[in-house]
Amino acid sequence: MRFFSLIVLLLAIVQAFESFSQDTIPRNNKLQRNFLNNNGKWTVEIPVWIPGFRGQYTYGDVSLEGEDGVPPEIEQPIEKPGLGDIFKRLFKTEGSLNFVFMSRISYTSDKIYAQLDGFSGAVGSNTTFRYNNAELIKAKFSTNLYRLFAGYEIVETWSESQKSNYHLYAYGGIRLQDINIQTELDRRDFQKEISPIWIEPIVGLRNELALERWKFILNGDLGFLGDTERISYMISFNASFRISNLISVKAGWTDWDTNYKGDVKGEDLTLYLHLSGPSTALTFHF
């Protein structure tokens, strides 16, 4: 509730600012709402992501796997979810998945693009996991993910009509992953809480296609830490619609996959997380 109240307040401030600007500085209204004719370098986003979740991990002699909204069957393999399965999980009322982006800030100047973003979320206690293929238990995953990267434009193309353009950026940076896992059976001797945290370099590509008031972005990056035992990727596709010179709205799909293998508190940890689902954002251009 506080989050939505903050958005309402922010929108009111933005509307007042826009009204003042339009009254004091005459502008071409068509250019105000055009991605092709805007010189703003900064964007600030308030994005929300609601992914379906699948995860598994082995820590010492403990082995768990499961997904939100669908209790795993004993002695039945859990297949990687298809698109239909993701939608079924996303909209099950008993699910307790709650992911929300914290912020995203980007800067564009000439051929340079830079971005800082982060989100935090948790898979609640309604997520059912399979323990050693013999018992069903409740488990909770929570995570913080931060990315900082910068890129250089390697392709820029305009249409003959000058009504669309395409940009391709290659970028590199770092990704910090902070994951907390809590599991507990009715037995008091079974309680586990582990919190691996690591920083990995990332490389990626960003594709931008602008059509006056519309912009389409396909973005993907790969993270790794020296070998294939710690590898991750994040892919997103979204479409933005320019409401005004200051504001645009965005909707799309984001996919995040993490594989980790390492030593945590003297025990071997093998971790796999897959999150995929719709995302939306309110973007401010400066």
Listed by start position, the domains of the chain span 33-285
Give pLDDT, residue 229: 76
Q: Which residues of the chain have pLDDT under 70?
A: 1-33, 38-39, 68-101, 123-127, 133, 184-191, 226-228
How many CA atoms are closer than 13 Å to the CA of 227, on its beta-carbon side?
A: 4
pLDDT digits (tens, 9 = 90+) for 187-245: 555 567 888 899 999 999 999 999 989 999 999 999 987 666 788 999 999 999 999 88
Determine the residue type at 202. Answer: I
pLDDT, tens only, 52-69:
778 888 887 778 887 766
**Domain at 33-285, CATH class:** mainly beta
What's the CA gap between 66 and 192, in Å, rounded? 16
Distance set, CA 167 to CA 113, 164, 252 (Å):
11, 10, 19
The CA-CA-CA angle for residues 122, 254, 6, to 5°, reads 60
- pTM of the entire predicted model: 0.79
- Residue 255: alpha-carbon gap to chain centroid: 7
Containing 139, the helix (H) or strand (E) segment is: strand 135-158
- Measured distance CA(180)–CA(197) in Å, rounded: 9
